[in-house]
Structure 1
Amino acid sequence: MTFAHRVRVVDSHTAGEPTRVVVGGFPELAGGTLAEQEADLLANHADLVRLLVGEPRGHAPWHAVLPLAPLHAGADLSVLIVSALGSLTMCGHALIGTVTTLLETERIPAREPVTGVVVETLSGLVRAEARVDGGKVRSVTFRGVPSWVAVTGLEVEVGGQAFEVDIGFGGIWFALVRVEQTGVPIAVESVPGLVALSHRIRLEVNRTLRERSGWPPGTPERVDQLLYVGPPTSAGAHGQNLATSTGLGFDRSPCGTGCCARMAWHFERGEMAVGDTFVHESVLNTIFTGTIKAETEVDGHRAIIPTITGSAYLTGFNELVLDTDDPLGPGLFLPAAGG
C-alpha cells in the first residue's frame, strides 16, 4: 500500500458536536505568528484540511484542531481550527474538545482539581479551566472574547415573510433570529427546514450588508452563520440554540461562540446583567452553561466578557490516510444547506 499522507488524530464530541485533534503526521507550518501559519496552512496544505474534515473521512459537522507550539508569550499552546467553512477564528465546542483531549491523553499535564490552559486562537488569547477528577476531565470552562451586538432590528424578506434579524459577535459573527418567527420549534424533526430557511435568510442579510451603507462601526461585511434562539424545552435550561451554516449544516451542541453571542444579545436587550448565568440547550438537549463575567466596550458598543462551560468525551484514536490511487483524492466538501 502506498499512502501520500498519514495523519494521527484523536476524536471527541462536545455536547454532540465532533472535534478531531491532530496529534501526529502533520507538516510543520511556516510563520512566526498564528496568522502567518494560517496563511501557510491554507495556501500550501489545503489538501490536508480536506483530509481532516472533508468526506469521506469526515462530514459536515467535523471541526479539526491543529495544536501548535505557543506563538504568544502568554499562551500554553496555539491552535488553528478548520472546518468545511475553512479556517475559523474561534470555536467553543472545539476548544472544549481540544483541552479535554490533550489533558486526557497526557499531552498537557493535568492537575487536580483544576488545570488552567491558555490557548492562542485567531480571535486572541482564550483562558480555559478544566475540572479534573481521577484523571478524567469533567468539564471545561473558557473565557470568551469580548462579545457584542453590532446591528439590531434588521428586516429581511424571504418567501414573502419578513424576518427581524440582529447581528452579533461571540468569537465569530452570527445573524440571530428568534425561532418563533419561523412558526416551528427547535427540534430534531424541524432541523432540515430550519437549516434550509437559514441559508435563505443569510443570503438576504449578506445582500443587505453589501448594498446598504452607513452601518455602525465594526459591522461585518458578511455573516456565515445563523443562530436561531428559542425558549427552553428541558428543565433547568433558560433557552435553546440552533446554529446553522451552508458548509456545516447545523451544530449538534448549543454552540459555544453562539452562546457568547446570545448572551451579548440578551445583555443588549436588558435581559441579562453582569453576574447572570444562562443555561443553553441544544437541539439534542445537551447543555452549555454561560455566565456574563464583566462588561467592556468594542467599537463604541457595550460588550460582555462571557464564560462557557461544557463537557467533551473522547470517541476514537484514528490514523487518516490518503491512498495514492484514491479517485476522491484527499476529500471533498458537500454543501449541507442548498446552494
Structure 2
Amino acid sequence: MTFDKALDILLVHCQGESGNVLFNGAPEIPGATILEKMDHLNNVDPSLRLFLTREPRAQVVHTTNLLLAPTRPDADVAFIVLQPDRAHPMSGSNCICVVTALLETGRVKMIEPETVVRLDTAAGLIVARAHCEGGRCLSVSLDNVPAFVQQLDVTIETAKWGRITGDIAFGGVFYAQINVDQVGLRTVPEAARALADAGTEIKSLLAEQVTVNHPEIPGLNEIAYVMFRDYQPDGSVITCTTLKPGRVDRSPCGTGSSANIAILHARGQARTGDKRISRSIIGGTFTTEILGETTIGGRPAVLPRITGQGYVFGRQQLRLDPQDPFLHGFAMSDTWGLQVGEL
C-alpha cells in the first residue's frame, strides 16, 4: 500500500458502535466488483486495513468503512467494512454510519424529508432511506439484501457447555444465533468479556462442524459471527454479536437482526409487515421489518428493513510516514487475547 496524501476520516458511531468513514485519500483497490476488491484486501494486500484498524492508530473496537466508486450502474456509492480481523461484506450499523456521513458532509445531496442512497456492497445492493430534517440525518432505514435460513436447530458439540443448538442464517453475512442461557450468561454489560470469550470459542467450533455457502454469491462461505440472543416477552430481542478479536457489538447489529427475523419467519413467528425491536447489550435499538418474501437459490427468504440512527462526532486525519516501524500496525494479547497467536 502506498499513498501520497493524508487520509481524511469522519468519526461516526451507530448506537455506540464505531463506524468511522474514510472519505478521502484512499489508494485504488484492484477488482472489477466490490466483492473482488474485498477479496483483494483480504487475500492479496491487507496493508490499508491494517494501517487503519490496528494499533497505534486504532483499537480493536474500531471499524473504518472504505468509500469507493460503485461498480454497478444502479448504485450511488460503494463501501467495504474494514475491521481488525479482515474486510467484511456488509454491516447494518456501519451502513447507517456511512449514509449519515455521506449526507451530513454533503458528499451526497441531502433532500428533506427523505433522501434515498443506493450502496454497492460485496453482499449486494443496499437501498437506504434517510429521514432528514434541519440538515441532520435523523434516522436511516436500510432495505437489506434478502435474508434466509441456512439451517435451524444445528447441534454444536462443545467441551465447556456440552451439546448446544443454534440457528444458521444469512442477513448480509452468515450468523450462528444461539440462546444465551445455553452458555449460562445474560446479555448485560457486566458479562461482555465472558460473552466475547464464549462467542469466540463457539465460532472456532463452528468452523470445524458446520459448512455454509451463499447459493448466489461465491466466496461468502463462512460463519462470520456468533450472536447470542435473549427473546423478551414483548416480542423484542436483546442481541449480543461477538466479533474477533474477542469483543461484542455495541449496536443491536443490523445484519444480525435481519438474520434473526428470517429465523422467526422460518419458524412461523413473523410474517410480511411485522416489525421487531432489537436491543443491544447497552440498550441501543433497531427496528426490523419484513417488507416481503422472495427466494435465494431456491430457499425461502425475506426482504428485511433495518432502521436506526448514526452520529457524527468528529474528524481525523492520518498520514503515512515511510519510516514508521508500525505501518501495518500490531496486535497485543492484552486486547486480542489468545487469538493474537492465530495472526
The separation in 2 between residues aligned to 1:222 and 1:40, in whole angstroms, is 17
The separation in 2 between residues aligned to 1:216 and 1:136, in whole angstroms, is 39
Q: Give the match for residue 23 of structure 1.
A: 23
Q: CA deviation at 1:271?
A: 1.1
The separation in 2 between residues aligned to 1:122 and 1:217, in whole angstroms, is 12
Q: CA deviation at 1:150?
A: 0.7
The separation in 1 between residues aligned to 2:45 and 2:284, in whole angstroms, is 34
Segments of 5+ residues of structure 1 without an aligned counterpart are none
Which amino acid letter does the alignment assign opposite residue 309 of structure 1?
A: T
- Structure 1 residues 217 and 101: CA distance shift in structure 2, 3 A: closer
Matched, 1:157 2:157: yes
Q: CA deviation at 1:55?
A: 1.7
CA RMSD of aligned residues (A): 2.4
The separation in 2 between residues aligned to 1:81 and 1:33, in whole angstroms, is 15
Which amino acid letter does the alignment assign opposite residue 242 of structure 2?
A: T
The residue correspondences of 1:298-317 to structure 2 (distance < 5 A) are 298-317=296-315
Which amino acid letter does the alignment assign opposite residue 183 of structure 1?
A: G
Q: Give the match for residue 318 of structure 2.
A: 320
Q: Give the match for residue 265 of structure 1.
A: 263
Structure with higher RCO (Cα < 8 A, 6+ apart):
1
Q: Give the match for residue 250 of structure 1.
A: 248
Segments of 5+ residues of structure 2 without an aligned counterpart are none
Q: CA deviation at 1:120?
A: 0.6
- Structure 1 residues 108 and 160: CA distance shift in structure 2, 3 A: closer
The separation in 1 between residues aligned to 2:63 and 2:246, in whole angstroms, is 9
Is this contact kept in 1: 2:200–2:246, CA < 8 A? no
Is this contact kept in 1: 2:144–2:305, CA < 8 A? yes
Q: Give the match for residue 50 of structure 1.
A: 50
For these two proteins, the number of residue pairs brought into alignment is 331
Q: Give the match for residue 86 of structure 2.
A: 86
Which amino acid letter does the alignment assign opposite residue 178 of structure 1?
A: N
The separation in 2 between residues aligned to 1:56 and 1:300, in whole angstroms, is 46
Per-residue displacement from partner, 1:66-106 (whole Å, max 9, x unpaired)? Answer: 22222211111122221123121111111100000110011
Which amino acid letter does the alignment assign opposite residue 136 of structure 2?
A: K
The separation in 1 between residues aligned to 2:107 and 2:47, in whole angstroms, is 26
The separation in 2 between residues aligned to 1:29 and 1:254, in whole angstroms, is 31
- Structure 1 residues 285 and 25: CA distance shift in structure 2, 3 A: same
Q: Give the match for residue 13 of structure 1.
A: 13
The residue correspondences of 1:267-306 to structure 2 (distance < 5 A) are 267-306=265-304
Is this contact kept in 2: 1:131–1:140, CA < 8 A? yes
SS class of match (2:64): strand
The residue correspondences of 1:111-260 to structure 2 (distance < 5 A) are 111-158=111-158, 159-209=160-210, 218=215, 222-232=222-232, 238-247=236-245, 249-260=247-258
Q: CA deviation at 1:197?
A: 1.2
- Farther-moved stretch of structure 1 (149-158 vs 190-199): 149-158
The separation in 2 between residues aligned to 1:88 and 1:278, in whole angstroms, is 25
Per-residue displacement from partner, 1:5-57 (whole Å, max 9, x unpaired)? Answer: 63111010001111111122211233433234334444665222112111221
- Structure 1 residues 132 and 170: CA distance shift in structure 2, 3 A: same
Is this contact kept in 1: 2:231–2:237, CA < 8 A? yes
TM-score (norm 1): 0.90
Q: Give the match for residue 105 of structure 2.
A: 105
Which amino acid letter does the alignment assign opposite residue 135 of structure 2?
A: G
